[in-house]
Amino acid sequence: MFGDIANRTSQAAGRASTFMVAAGIIVVWAVTGPVFDYSDTWQLVINTGTTIITFLMVFLIQNSQNRDSAAIQVKLDELIRVSAAHNSFVGIEHLTDDELEEIRTRCESRAKAEKVGEASVEKAGEKAKKAAERAVG
């Protein structure tokens, strides 16, 4: 039930009309300042209202992020599963920070080694091309 309410509320909160309503409330509050002599109660009304809304929005935003992250993770896992990538990467989001750091370091090392290998192949290809040109010329 919370997920459904959070989803609808977060969709509504992201609309331009919702922003305009919130901006309108702020304008009305500011205009009524002189009427209430900028009293402590007048200030308390906006402070309390914005604090409550901010507090509740934190939970809605976190819920939306959790859903989005889970959906992206499932999509990435499926891409890994059907590709030539290592299936051992599926589910690594459940590892500890130290385990993830170790995997990241290994992946970076492999990437650097592949880069060096590619550079060596390119260099060898250039040498072969020059040798071929000398042989033909």
Q: pLDDT (tens digit, 9 = 90+) per residue, 83-101?
A: 776 677 777 778 888 888 8
Q: Are residues 120 and 60 in the same domain?
A: no
22: pLDDT strictly greater than 70: yes
Structural domain count, the chain: 2
More confident residue, 17 or 79: 17
Q: Are residues 10 and 47 in the same domain?
A: yes
Domain with 134 in it: 95-137
Q: Are residues 82 and 99 in the same domain?
A: no
SS (H, E, C) the chain: CHHHHHHHHHHHHCCHHHHHHHHHHHHHHHHCCCCCCCCHHHHHHHHHHHHHHHHHHHHHHHHHHHHHHHHHHHHHHHHHHHCCCCHHHCCHHHCCHHHHHHHHHHHHHHHHHHHHHHHHHHHHHHHHHHHHHHHHC
Q: Are residues 13 and 75 in the same domain?
A: yes
pTM of the model as a whole? 0.56
Q: Are residues 58 and 1 in the same domain?
A: yes
73: pLDDT strictly greater than 90: no
Q: In the listed set 64, 86, 108, which residue is the last one of a domain according to the structure?
A: 86
For residue 53, the model assigns a pLDDT of: 93
Q: Are residues 107 and 53 in the same domain?
A: no
